[in-house]
Amino acid sequence: MKHLDLVFLWHMHQPDYRDHGATGTAQDARVGAGDTAGGEFVLPWVYLHAMKDYVDMAAHLERHPQIRCVVNLVPVLLEQIEDYAQQFADGRFRDPLLRMLATPDLEKIDDSERRLLLNTCFRSNHTTMLAPFPHYQRLHDIYRLLVADNESSCRYLSGSYFSDLVTWYHLAWTGETERRRNPLLARLMSQGERYDAGDRQLLLASIGELLAGLIPRWRALAARGQVELSSTPHTHPLAPLMLDFGAARESLPEAPLPFTAAYPGGRSRVLTHIDAARVSHARRFGAPPTGMWPAEGAISTEFVKHLGTAGCQWIASGEGVLNNSLVASGIADPRAAYHPWRLAQAPGLTLFFRDERLSDLIGFDYAKWHGRDAAQHLVHQLEAILDTAADGETPVVSIILDGENAWEHYPYNGYYFFDDLYGLLAEHPAIRTTTYAELLARPAPPPATVLPRLVAGSWVYGTLSTWIGDQAKNRGWDLLCEAKQSCDRVLASGRLDPAQVAAVEAQLAICESSDWFWWFGDYNPSAAVASFDSLYRRNLARLYRLLQLEPPAQLDTPICAGSDSATGGSMRRVTASPN
């Protein structure tokens, strides 16, 4: 009987949302040396996604122990989850939204805190996370009637309004599995209104328990062999561009590049990110990861070679990268995505490529379907791939997408979709869910075909255009390059002590995240662009101060036209391939 090997890779990532401050302090040195305590959280997406999505994704697997998958946990995300867990343990919150939830008397908050709650607590998918709850919807109706056209009207809203608002926002961001497990959530949602400080304290404690138990839950799933935990270079850098800006032109020959010829010392920085991720993973999970999901699935030949040398046995990327590489290599292979590949330059490393159609069905389309219909449709698509397999062929299908951002578009946070999908797959006689590590550890691993040429690209369009090539993105790179040149000069001078050097290197890693460059662009919501633009420039300014240099005046000017230092924000993109 023919079989199909199905690998789900759920990529869990949020960038560092902390504003670590403006000076090089003793605490900065501890942070640079590995302490997770940091600065004020500018945006709350780490803990909100943790209590809704990371918890739900673990619970789905716990309910369906026959399902195996890969879960990719980025070190900078894990650091922030641990940071939040410590805040709950200490009772000292550096996230303003959690401080508001913990504030005993919301009648006494000032106008800036009122604006914070009004600007934050309706930020969600209203169709699935607000409209289903009449009491929460009524709070929004009042807001639109009273405040939307006149910000000063917020002073007429009572402390009771803000208590209900901040409570409902957190209830809306709870995972569906928790709502079914935790009687407190059921009681609070049934109550609907008039939440007091005691209610909010109970909710706060429940959130703290979830965050404290989250990483141990993933560790337990890995320990019993159900989940393979993989990683990404430390702060999610766009490594191919750090190695060579010219990589962008492999898929788009006319792409404009930054004024700076190359990122200074890019090779050393990429190796640092890879090594830091492997050390971080081993510290938390007992051993370095077998494989890595490169940030944004972005790869180049040089980067793949470095990953192989560092000990990675597998990586994955987007099907668009594979298709561009096949064209450049003169290869016609209609089933190219259904078997692994290797590069001659990195013979010990196996490459897997994402089935874009099936992954995007989950990321974009199935949210509009009935859960059972969507699950059955996906299984039928997999059966069709198996039916067309040649004799002796065992297709390997990779479904890869963000593990957090799509589910708010699904009714009940995707609960019924996952319950039906995992249930159908667990019973299917010919489809086996597995992991990349398990595939490679078999006595007869799936044969890998040599790819003569790899065209650099990512899981978005198969190119690197989402992170380089327009005026704002290139400006972001030039600012980073200038800061890195200053780093190199100061570090070479020897005037910083080891703790100060560690703080500088930690801050530099934050500035090298791919997320800043993704958000630069007029295709994103203006408030979100403003938030990321402002935080990126503050991160660069802090880097200069840690170097004991005055930040250049150009960091006071927004990178994106029309952007300002507004503190509005938005969630990260729904999945990898916007359409």
Q: Given pLDDT bands bounded at 50, 70 and 90, which one contains residue 31?
A: very low
Q: What angle do CA 344, 275, 533 make, to 5 degrees?
A: 100
Give the model's pLDDT for residue 564.
47
E strand map for 48-87: 69-73
**Residue 333 clears pLDDT 60, i.e. is over it:** yes
Q: What is the mean pLDDT of residues 343-371?
A: 97
Residue with tokens 């299908």: 397
pLDDT-above-70 percentage for the chain: 93
Q: Which residues pair with 70 in a beta bridge?
A: 9, 228
Give the model's pLDDT for residue 38.
67
CA atoms within 13 A on the CB side of 26: 0
**Residue 361 clears pLDDT 50, i.e. is over it:** yes
Residue 456, phi-psi category: left (phi > 0), alpha (psi -120 to 50), beta (remainder): beta
Q: Which of 12, 19, 15, 72 is nearest to 516 (CA)?
A: 15
Q: What is the mean pLDDT of residues 340-360?
A: 97
DSSP 478-532: HHHHHHHHHHHHHHHHT-S-HHHHHHHHHHHHHHTBTHHHHH-STTS-HHHHHHH
pLDDT tens for each residue of 37-74: 568 999 999 999 999 999 999 999 999 999 999 999 99
Q: What is the mean pLDDT of residues 506-530?
A: 91
Distance from C-alpha of 277 to C-alpha of 79, rounded to nearest angstrom: 11
Give the model's pLDDT for residue 524.
82
pLDDT tens for each residue of 65-121: 999 999 999 999 999 999 999 999 999 999 999 999 999 999 999 999 999 999 999
Give the model's pLDDT for residue 26.
36
Give the model's pLDDT for residue 150.
74
Q: What is the pTM of this model?
A: 0.94
Distance from C-alpha of 263 to C-alpha of 467, rounded to nearest angstrom: 14
Strand arrangement of the beta sheet that strand 291-292 belongs to: 291-292, 314-317, 346-353, 341-343, 449-451
Give the model's pLDDT for residue 148.
66
For residues 355 and 572, the answer to whether their CB atoms sit within 8 Å is no
pLDDT tens for each residue of 396-428: 999 999 999 999 999 999 999 999 999 999 999
**Residue 383 clears pLDDT 60, i.e. is over it:** yes
Distance from C-alpha of 537 to C-alpha of 556, rounded to nearest angstrom: 8
**Residue 577 clears pLDDT 50, i.e. is over it:** no
Q: Which of 496, 469, 512 is nearest to 24 (CA)?
A: 496
Q: How far apart are the first and last CA of the chain?
A: 38
Q: What is the mean pLDDT of residues 430-441?
A: 98
pLDDT tens for each residue of 217-256: 999 999 999 999 999 999 999 999 999 999 999 999 999 9
Q: What is the mean pLDDT of residues 270-278?
A: 98
What's the whole-number average pLDDT of the chain? 93
Cβ-in-10-Å burial (0-12, 13-18, 19+) of 198 comes to exposed
Give the model's pLDDT for residue 155.
81
List Cβ neighbours of 364 (8 Å cut-off, separation of 6 or more). 406, 574, 575, 579
List Cβ neighbours of 183 (8 Å cut-off, separation of 6 or more). none
Q: Which of 535, 533, 538 is nearest to 562 (CA)?
A: 533
